[in-house]
């Protein structure tokens, strides 16, 4: 793979992430695909850690995804093994065996059950995973586990990503302060070949797996499920929410407990920030686009309208060219199958109302809109005039860079 | 608009289309947008002509679309007026008035009812249609009607199209021979801004409107509804099937009549050929892609799987680069929500089986596949292994040309 220039939308630096009680990291280089960089990550979680998972809905999902989905039901986790460069997808029975062997080797090294080892692979589809290269690397990783290695871990799982992605908040649970920190990789929603999305959100709070599941589903709907680069869903997407139970706070019985209000809000913030980072590193991205939809029949309808706009190649190419082509937003609203009232539709670019009452507003001046579109961050507001459903969706523009990255030969 | 080079997939020449009894054409230049070319087309049909329409499903459809949909219920047609450069979409009440005025002016000139005048506009969205320029041009068009002007008509409705599109067959109805000829514009499924699809299929057969409706729906599902360029549905798509009733043949009572078997087959052929021409003129297209899906739960499921593959930017960019990246086909099958069996999935490129039984076939040699992908016409066969549903879908690759065309500023 050719290296791509760092996205102009990347944050200035990786955030400061202090050590989290109960979490240690190690990374290494198997050499299976990349030269001169780490491509294998091990995260160890303290005994008693709990987990919830959200995975791709693809009917072609990979053996690692099936493994995570199955064992997330137990709700117990002791380790995450992630590798970059090979997705171990569509690899037949050898793919399942590779997962089994990776889990078994990790369990032996860490003294846990293999069902407590979660596995995520990202990279090319259809090429057998050289699992022996992972097995050979794992002992050294297990010996080198350290607490303060977030950035190294976030870098080891990158594929076409141009920068490592992480976010952190502290939250109060009653009188106690806990930490929520996450990192992810993904250069879109998105590509099965070198751009799957993996995300790990960790907290030192003590939360039952049932609570984690509810929190993760709600946060995913507001974050990763409201973000798109190209509408191509990976076979390998996995988001894990893990709690190490090291913090001391009141016992939590249900996700809806009032004592969890701040935690819920901060978890949403972490996951939204991570989702935005993925859109900002979308393949070829030059502009970050926020689409606020209101007036829809329901919140889900609003999100589907937002995704129709965010996935439209015509909207995305227009924005790449800083063209205030609002007619394409009309088109995208029209095509998506959700209720919308043409004569109540309101479209704003950069806060400037362009279209309302079924036509371009009288005296519309494109100058401030053109200035807004010339920037790196574009905001589109759409009210479809039929109800109270609202949602926000994030995406990036569609540029020559996307064609270059995805039209380059695999080898 | 900058002129774009003619698609390398264009036919060598426009087909020979003889005059059809009951049909006359005229074209002219209103000057509303383009310089030095015709942008207005008038088709006159003999008294007694019948019509059926298929229109876009967009909730933001244009006043001309609403007009055609409404009056197609009556089943009578005497004229078609098409203009290029302005879609008369999202233009408020002025848009409705422009349609009314165009129909009234045409009806006066041809001595028919205004409800028998069908109108199709294509071009930029949200700009008021200067209907007075159409009214000023129509008298000259009405005076200059001629039978043998298919190509001139097909050229007058072009926008980002790089070549005029037409197809013709003769069909037998009992002992009689009738003609079926159609022309269309469209450079995708596709863009609302300068690339809407309009299609007119004409026959001298004598067929009730009820029969035309059934025939048109069936043929559309196999042709235009099985073709995509970018998955962006226009606000202005219209397909009309018109019968001038000039031919002498047995009376037809129902679309399923055995005597219509040859006509049905030939109509399908004309519409499939036209749909293929649109994909071959897809914005930026360098390769024409045929996707044959089999083994699906139903025919509709097969078509949806085919469209998921055909709309995937990752599949389309890979083919643009002649990259046999079959993992992206696995991804597209997986994401589309239709039933598919990973371990029975079979993928072929250019007739060569690449993937089967859940993995790449043993001893797979990419050489002949790479040779196939280097050509202009790419064939992908996918069997998803769950049923007997089959369908074929056509599309084109996604290239830098698409970005250039759609990222260029409107003015």
Q: What is the mean pLDDT of residues A127-139?
A: 97
Return the DSSP state at B296: E
Cis peptide leading into A322, omega within 30 of 0? Answer: no
- A407 vs B125, B318, B331: nearest CB: B318
Task: State whether residue B184 is helix, strand or coil.
Answer: strand
pLDDT at A70: 97
Q: How far is A321 from chain B (nearest CA, A)?
A: 5
Q: How far is A118 from chain B (nearest CA, A)?
A: 22
Q: How far is A170 from chain B (nearest CA, A)?
A: 36
Confidence bin at A154 (pLDDT 50/70/90): very high
Cβ partners under 8 Å of residue B287, min gap 6: B9, B319, B320, B375, B376, B377, B378, B396, B397
Strands B117-124 and B346-349: unpaired
Distance, in Å, from the CA atom of A230 to the CA atom of B388, rounded to the nearest integer, reads: 31
Distance, in Å, from the CA atom of B52 to the CA atom of B212, rounded to the nearest integer, reads: 6
Chain B residues near residue A87 by CB distance under 8 angstroms? 327
pLDDT at position A42 over 90 = yes
Confidence bin at A194 (pLDDT 50/70/90): very low
Q: Of the listed A30, A159, A160, A196, which one is catalytic? A: A196
pLDDT at B407: 76
pLDDT at A408: 66
Asked if A25 and A150 count as a contact pair (C-beta separation under 8 A), the reply is yes
Residues A373-396 have pLDDT tens digits of 999 999 999 999 999 999 999 999
Q: How far is B285 from chain A (nearest CA, A)?
A: 13
Beta bridge partners of A122: A84
Strands A352-356 and A359-360: antiparallel
Task: State whether residue B277 is helix, strand or coil.
Answer: helix
Chain A residues near residue B296 by CB distance under 8 angstroms? none
pLDDT at position A94 over 60 = yes
Cis peptide leading into B315, omega within 30 of 0? Answer: no
CA atoms within 13 A on the CB side of B373: 24
DSSP string, A289-338: EEEEEEEESSHHHHHHHHHHHHH-HHHHHHHHTT---THHHHHHHHHT-S
The residue whose two tokens read 């995520």 is A120
- B124 vs A127, A327, A355: nearest CB: A327
Q: What are phi and psi of B231, to 5 degrees?
A: 75, 0
A196 is catalytic: yes
Rg (CA), chain B: 22
Instruction: Return averaged pLDDT per consecutive 10 residues of chain B, 411 residues in all.
Output: 78 96 98 92 98 91 95 98 94 96 98 98 91 98 96 95 96 96 80 66 98 96 87 86 97 95 98 94 92 97 94 91 92 91 96 95 95 97 97 93 74 40
Distance, in Å, from the CA atom of A266 to the CA atom of B180, rounded to the nearest integer, reads: 65
Contact between B331 and A400 using a beta-carbon 8 Å cutoff: no
A397: left (phi over 0), alpha (psi -120 to 50) or beta: beta
Q: How far is B350 from chain A (nearest CA, A)?
A: 18
Confidence bin at A124 (pLDDT 50/70/90): confident
pLDDT at position A187 over 80 = no
Q: What is the ipTM of this complex?
A: 0.87
Which CA distances in Å does A213 have to A120, A202, A309, B410? 19, 13, 30, 48
- Lowest-confidence segment of A95-99, A121-125, B44-48, B132-136 by average pLDDT: A121-125
pLDDT at A411: 39
Which tokens hold the place of B321?
């680069």
Q: At what angle do helices B261-280 and B209-222 cross, to 10 degrees?
A: 50
Asked if A330 and B235 count as a contact pair (C-beta separation under 8 A), the reply is yes
Residues A284-337 have pLDDT tens digits of 899 999 999 999 999 999 999 999 999 998 899 999 999 999 989 998 999 888
Contact between A403 and B406 using a beta-carbon 8 Å cutoff: no
Identify which of A267, A272, A180, A185 has the alpha carbon closest to the alpha carbon of residue A227. A272
Confidence bin at A38 (pLDDT 50/70/90): very high
Distance, in Å, from the CA atom of A155 to the CA atom of B163, rounded to the nearest integer, reads: 49
Domains located in chain B, CATH noted: 23-280 (3.60.70.12), 288-407 (3.10.20.340)
Asked if B140 and B38 count as a contact pair (C-beta separation under 8 A), the reply is no
Return the DSSP state at A226: G
- B60 vs A235, A331, A360: nearest CB: A331
Chain A residues near residue B126 by CB distance under 8 angstroms? 326-327, 330, 355, 359-360
pLDDT at B4: 75
- A321 vs B95, B231, B409: nearest CB: B409
Chain B residues near residue A406 by CB distance under 8 angstroms? 313-314, 317-318, 321
Identify which of B309, B87, B75, B297 has the alpha carbon closest to the alpha carbon of residue B186. B87
Identify which of A140, A63, A74 has the alpha carbon closest to the alpha carbon of residue A100. A63
pLDDT at position A276 over 50 = yes
Beta bridge partners of A84: A122
Contact between A314 and B406 using a beta-carbon 8 Å cutoff: yes
pLDDT at B188: 57
- Report the predicted TM-score, pTM, of the whole model to 2 decimal places: 0.89
Task: State whether residue B331 is helix, strand or coil.
Answer: helix
- The residue with greater pLDDT, B107 or A401, is B107
Chain B residues near residue A305 by CB distance under 8 angstroms? none
Q: What percent of chain A has pLDDT over 70?
A: 96
Return the DSSP state at A16: P
Q: What is the mean pLDDT of residues A237-264?
A: 96
pLDDT at B196: 67
pLDDT at B194: 44
Q: How many helices (H) and strands (E) does chain B have?
A: 11, 15
Chain B residues near residue A313 by CB distance under 8 angstroms? 230-232, 313, 398, 402, 406
Task: State whether residue B125 is helix, strand or coil.
Answer: coil
Identify which of A352, A401, A374, A353 has the alpha carbon closest to the alpha carbon of residue B409. A374
Contact between A60 and B323 using a beta-carbon 8 Å cutoff: no
Return the DSSP state at B188: S
pLDDT at B405: 82
Distance, in Å, from the CA atom of A185 to the CA atom of A199, rounded to the nearest integer, reads: 6
pLDDT at A29: 97
């Amino acid at each position: 793979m050719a290296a791509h220039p760092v996205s102009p939308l990347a944050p200035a630096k990786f955030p400061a992430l202090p050590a989290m009680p109960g979490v240690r990291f190690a990374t290494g280089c198997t050499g299976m695909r990349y030269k001169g960089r780490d491509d294998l990550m091990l995260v160890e979680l303290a005994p008693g850690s709990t987990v919830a998972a959200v995975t791709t809905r693809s009917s072609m999902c990979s053996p690692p995804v099936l493994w995570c989905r199955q064992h997330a039901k137990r709700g117990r986790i002791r380790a995450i093994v992630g590798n970059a460069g090979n997705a171990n997808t569509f690899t037949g029975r050898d793919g399942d065996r590779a997962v089994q062997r990776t889990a078994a080797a990790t369990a032996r090294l860490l003294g846990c059950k293999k069902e407590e080892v979660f596995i995520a692979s990202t990279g090319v589809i259809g090429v057998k995973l050289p699992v022996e290269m992972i097995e050979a690397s794992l002992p050294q990783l297990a010996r080198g586990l350290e607490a303060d290695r977030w950035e190294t871990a976030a870098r080891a799982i990158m594929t076409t990503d141009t920068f490592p992605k992480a976010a952190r908040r502290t939250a109060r649970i009653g009188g106690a302060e806990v930490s929520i920190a996450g990192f992810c990789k993904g250069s879109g929603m998105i590509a099965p070949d070198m751009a799957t999305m993996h995300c790990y959100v960790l907290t030192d709070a003590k939360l039952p797996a049932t609570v984690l599941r509810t929190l993760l589903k709600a946060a995913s709907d507001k974050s990763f499920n409201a973000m798109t680069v190209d509408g191509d869903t990976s076979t390998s997407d996995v988001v894990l929410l893990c709690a190490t139970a090291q913090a001391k706070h009141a016992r939590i019985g249900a996700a809806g407990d009032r004592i969890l209000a701040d935690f819920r809000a901060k978890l949403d913030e972490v996951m939204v920030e991570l989702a935005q980072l993925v859109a900002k590193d979308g393949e070829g991205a030059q502009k970050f686009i926020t689409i606020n939809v209101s007036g829809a029949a329901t919140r889900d309808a609003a999100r589907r309208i937002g995704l129709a706009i965010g996935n439209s190649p015509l909207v995305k190419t227009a924005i790449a060219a800083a063209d205030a082509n609002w007619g394409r937003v009309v088109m995208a609203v029209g095509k998506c199958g959700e209720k919308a009232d043409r004569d109540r539709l309101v479209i704003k670019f950069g806060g400037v109302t362009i279209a309302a009452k079924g036509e371009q507003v009288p005296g519309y001046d494109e100058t401030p809109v053109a200035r807004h579109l010339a920037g790196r961050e574009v905001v589109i507001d759409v009210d479809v005039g039929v109800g109270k459903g609202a949602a926000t969706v994030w995406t990036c523009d569609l540029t020559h860079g996307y064609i270059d990255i995805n039209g380059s030969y695999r080898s």
